[in-house]
A and B are shown apart, each in its own frame.
Chain A
């Protein structure tokens, strides 16, 4: 396998912070949404920092952010889209084939 055949890594996910966000969200069951503060707590990121990365992921169609109300309190819910889940799976597969070029991806 030549160097040019190596898989390209998705630039949206290939940034440490966004990779962490997507990895955590990938643990949710499909269709489940997590509250923003809880996601923030799991990732130990500031609200501003997390918002910036979520915006980028949202722009790529990988993440869906929903503003809603739980009772009277406003809540922001985050979920990985089907496209985001696929991108994450492709990304991990690409990493594995970079590590073991002999194996078929």
Chain B
């Protein structure tokens, strides 16, 4: 970066064009939030909690690791809340220097996630008492992941971001496949492909972002 005092010195056209490109690239780099802050917390949360669910509630009721049944459920709730809080705070922080249409768009999208999950949890909490124990985890996980996939696809639409849209399609697809395969398999698919997919998507987006 040039900080000399001959600020008003005119430059030749080629030099000026290079300066413009350099400044625009620098501004884009500084103004674009690290894509990993929105993907990695969820990637780790899914990888850890759905792995535990798979180990405790395996396919056909198998128990691979004999831990109290509340452990994976508690870890699931805790990691989801932590990931939601982290992305919410990080998202708000990354947008705090800009005000206008962009920050309003980001805030609306963030609020959409919170309201959608609150609404869905309310419904599921109400009907859970009528669902057999063997299907209850699948009901919650399947519904939540369906919503997550749809919201990522909506994010891709809002931000015109193909990779986020594709991530949403991918999450939606493995969710449906896992629900058909049944309890246990669903958890395994979400841990490995869902969690792993989000970690990979974050790394890919970071590698492609301006540096």
Q: Residue A32 at the B interface, CB < 8 A?
A: yes
**A-contact bits for B73-103, CB 8 A (1 contact / 0 none):** 0000000000000000000000011111111
- In this complex, the interface size class of chain B, counting residues with CB under 8 Å from chain A, is 20 to 34
Complex contact A17–B7 (CB within 8 A): yes
Instruction: Give every chain B residue within 8 A of A72 (Cβ-Cβ).
Output: none
* Chain B interfacial positions (CB closer than 8 Å to A): 1-3, 6-11, 13-14, 16-17, 19-20, 23-24, 26-28, 30-31, 96-103
- In this complex, the interface size class of chain A, counting residues with CB under 8 Å from chain B, is 35 or more
CA distance A8 to B206 in the complex (A): 41
Known contacts A17-B8, A42-B26: does B20 contact A23 (CB below 8 Å)?
yes
Complex contact B6–A32 (CB within 8 A): no
28 A-B pairs whose Cβ atoms sit less than 8 Å apart in the complex: A9-B10, A14-B16, A15-B7, A15-B9, A16-B7, A16-B9, A18-B7, A19-B20, A20-B23, A23-B27, A24-B26, A27-B27, A27-B28, A29-B101, A29-B102, A32-B103, A33-B98, A33-B100, A34-B97, A35-B97, A35-B98, A38-B98, A42-B27, A49-B7, A95-B16, A96-B17, A98-B13, A99-B14
Complex contact B13–A32 (CB within 8 A): no
- Contact count A vs B, C-beta below 8 Å: 96
Instruction: Give every chain A residue within 8 A of B13 (Cβ-Cβ).
Output: 95-96, 98-99
Instruction: Give every chain B residue within 8 A of A29 (Cβ-Cβ).
Output: 100-102
Closest to A29 in B: B102
